[in-house]
A and B are shown apart, each in its own frame.
Chain A
Amino acid sequence: MYGVNEGVAEDLRSGRFGAGFSGAEMLENSAAQRADSPDGAGTIGNIQAANPYMVASGVNVHYGDNHAIRNVSLEIGKNEVIALIGPSGCGKTTFLRCLNRMNDTIESARVTGEITLDGHEIHDKSLDVVALRARVGMVFQKPNPFPKSIYDNVAYGPRIHGLASTRAELDEIVHGSLQRAGLWEEVKNRLHEPGTGLSGGQQQRLCIARTIAVSPEVILMDEPCSALDPIATARIEDLIDELRRNYAIVIVTHSMQQAARVSQRTAYFHLGDLVEVDATNKVFSNPGHRLTEDYITGRFG
């Protein structure tokens, strides 16, 4: 059965399927066998978003011989938050990094399949990777502030993209971003101290501020609250909710409660497979797959 899906992926790569191909068709193809096959590449539920902005179809990622993402198709919608959940090492980060081509930087990584942003293939020459990363911002799993001042951390993106023409405008962007990331009150008197001198949770919010400072269209957040206390977490969740009005958001989280709170759709990954995607309340109240159910009820993972 796996071989069959490989074939599908092959067809996708060679462009035998038209643009109209979606995971839903694939679903129908093999829905019968899939029910209890964790290594199958099919996905149950509904991969389609109401208002798709980024569309991944037939994405495979290999790290050398390690097949880390197996034939994943998923739509990411505007004005909604999609949560990626799954046990450690299942490929959430890897999938996220496909969306802004961050895997390009990893020597051994090989990404195949189609990913479009607003209808344009992101691997195309016509879409510059630098521009792509400005449009698809990312908050990394481990906080990684630049060893520069707090101000410069946030101002870096706007500076290189020329988003502010005056110092006052830049100040405004920095202020607004820190405010929205819930960090302003804590750092307003030490903007010119190094960002690396902040606590882990503060660094994480600094990285969030840095990402939203360039006003990306899609925001990828890799466990943005893993080092935050409940208050800061609530602040970030509010921010995510607010950002949703204009942007498409993908969030990786290990907290079921958080996924349930902030997301409209939830995708469950397992060993590189996208096992199930559906509306969040559907996934949590009535999971379609046994693996999903085991995971969200805490039986493993």
Chain B
Amino acid sequence: MSNGGQNPTARQIMERGLARRYRKERHFRALGITASCIGLIFLVLFFASIVSGGHSAFSQTYIALDISFDAQKISGGDTSPEALATGDYAGLVKSSLYTLFPDVKGRSDKRKLNRLISVGAEYQLQDKVMANPGLIGTEAQVWVPAAANVDMLVKGNIDRELDERSRPLGDKEIAWIDQLEQQGLLDRQFNTALFTNGDSRDPELAGIRGALMGSFYMLLVTIALAFPIGVAAAIYLEEFAPKNRWTDLIEVNINNLAAVPSIVFGLLGLAVFINFVGLPRSAPLVGGLVLALMTLPVIIIAARASIKAVPPSIREAALGVGASQMQTVFHHVLPLALPGIMTGTIIGMARALGESAPLLMIGMVAFVVDIPQSAMDPASALPVQIFLWADSPERAFVERTSAAILVLLGFLLMMNLAAVLLRRRFERKW
């Protein structure tokens, strides 16, 4: 074949194909960039909406009242701790308000005036007095939380232009609030109540502390159970178990378990832990048990994968100098697999933290005011709290819902960051 002029050479064919290959690559890159951008846009929109809706919940309107701690008014002059504990503190708030607004007369106007202040104010005063009985007989300026409607007005969530009848605050109340603001007796401060209080019917008093503690105890139970059991199971299955039909069956089942909808675990928890074993409803202990069952397959799968990723040459090296199977696993394989195991565990925990469906089944959706002191106390959890607040009609709960979501996202972000850092820190080094 010497008709070289006619037939294209290999190089010519290749060069023709080259342009096509580059075009394909460009298209693929464009596709990838588009996909990433779409994902990013949704993420930004999501965060923007939550942050814009939730950031205002981190501040709260407070009103300064000059309170005279008069024993006569509180408890008829009795200053014993018992009497102080059951005293009338609402009266203190009221009389302080009446001196501030001497023009307000009439029962209905007075009631309106009183409603500017949160019912939390009297508890705050009571706590103050109980903590320091020396206050009795003195006068002091105290910043007390304003009612949710006042807070909403100050944050601009109530439209002043609207007809009086269709807004929650009348013209008179708005005038009082403006007067307070002009006198410098009204201020927005950091909303500590959001982090120190349990749930409440009054939005300005509602906090996520109870839910946070519930989630904390629950995750404690989950990790205490799921981590050791999961790792032990993974080690056994990878390193010790004979490879036969039974272990295949177990493997298939574990993989299936990881795909079971979480609500099913909730039903299981209800049937087994509450109805059969008789553990208390709404307890983080039960929630933790259910979430442990749910996370277990995730941890087992992650742990098996990272144990499998340890090169067999390391095992052979250890066995070759006469280490037993157990020593090989615990001296060499496990330390090398641990970062991967931890990463898997953290991701499983993050999933457990964000889970709400199974908790609905075991009664952790209850309205719990008290902050749980142990894993046996009734509690809700952060995602369930979000669910509850999202259901409330009050405008003030809307921003608190977003704020709680932000807190939850913050925790999830921290956990995922920890997983990434762990992976970085212990990058494979063989």
Contacts and interface: CB of A to CB of B under 8 A. Distances in A.
Interface of A: 100, 102, 105, 107, 130-131, 133-135, 137-138, 140, 142, 144-147, 156-157, 160-161, 194, 196, 207, 210-211, 213-214
Given A107-B243, A160-B322, A160-B323, A146 B429 contact: no
B330 to A, nearest CB: 11
A140 B313 CA distance: 9
B335 to A, nearest CB: 9
Contact of A144 (B314, B322, B323): B314
B321 interface: yes
Nearest to B429: A147
A146 B322 contact: no
- Of residues B311, B314, B315, B321, which shows the largest number of chain A Cβ atoms within 10 Å of its Cβ? B321
Nearest to B327: A160
A102 B319 CA distance: 8
Contact of B313 (A130, A135, A142): A142
Interface string B291-326: 000000000000000000001111111111111100
Contacts of A102: 316, 319-320
B430 A130 contact: no
Nearest to A107: B243
A161 B322 contact: yes
A194 B316 contact: no
B320 A130 contact: no
A6 to B, nearest CB: 28
B317 A207 contact: yes
A140 B317 contact: yes
B317 A133 contact: no
A138 to B, nearest CB: 5
B332 interface: yes
Contact of A146 (B314, B319, B324): B314
B212 interface: no
B320 A133 contact: yes
A214 B317 contact: no
Contacts of B429: 147, 194, 196
Given A130-B323, A160-B321, 8 more contacts: A102-B319, A105-B312, A105-B319, A144-B311, A147-B314, A196-B429, A207-B317, A211-B321
A133 B322 CA distance: 5
B338 to A, nearest CB: 12
Nearest to B317: A144
A143 B173 CA distance: 83
A138 B317 CA distance: 9
Interface string B391-430: 0000000000000000000000000000000000000011
B319 A157 contact: no
Interface in B271-302: none
B313 A133 contact: no
B321 A140 contact: no
- Of residues B243, B317, B324, B332, which shows the largest number of chain A Cβ atoms within 10 Å of its Cβ? B317
Contacts of A130: 322-324
Contacts of B314: 144, 146-147
A127 to B, nearest CB: 13
Interface string B316-359: 11111111100100011000100000000000000000000000
A156 B321 contact: yes
Interface in B129-145: none
Contacts of B316: 102, 105, 140, 144
A214 B321 contact: yes
A130 B318 CA distance: 10
Contacts of B321: 133-134, 137, 156-157, 160, 210-211, 213-214
A146 B320 contact: no
Given A130-B322, A160-B322, A160-B327, A146 B317 contact: yes
Contacts of B311: 144
A213 B317 CA distance: 13
A100 B320 contact: yes
A133 B327 CA distance: 14
A272 to B, nearest CB: 22
A260 B313 CA distance: 30
A250 to B, nearest CB: 14
A194 B313 CA distance: 17
A105 B322 contact: no
A278 to B, nearest CB: 29
A142 B311 CA distance: 12
Given A194-B429, A196-B429, A147 B320 contact: no
21 contacts: A102-B319, A102-B320, A130-B322, A130-B324, A131-B322, A133-B322, A135-B322, A140-B313, A140-B320, A144-B313, A144-B314, A147-B314, A147-B430, A156-B318, A156-B331, A160-B327, A196-B429, A207-B317, A211-B320, A211-B321, A213-B321
A134 B313 contact: no
B322 A157 contact: yes
Contacts of B430: 147, 196
A211 B323 CA distance: 12
Contacts of A214: 321-322
Contacts of B315: 105
Contacts of A140: 313, 316-317, 320
A36 B312 CA distance: 39
A196 to B, nearest CB: 5
Contacts of B327: 160
Nearest to A158: B321
Contacts of B318: 146, 156
A209 to B, nearest CB: 11
- Of residues B313, B322, B430, which shows the largest number of chain A Cβ atoms within 10 Å of its Cβ? B322
Those 5 A-B pairs whose CB atoms lie nearest each other, nearest first: A134-B322, A157-B321, A144-B313, A144-B317, A133-B322
A211 B311 CA distance: 19
Contact of B320 (A107, A137, A160, A194): A137
Contacts of B331: 156, 160
B317 A145 contact: yes
A263 to B, nearest CB: 22
Nearest to A156: B321
A135 to B, nearest CB: 8
Nearest to A140: B316
A146 B332 contact: yes
A25 to B, nearest CB: 34
Contacts of B313: 140, 142, 144
Contacts of B312: 105
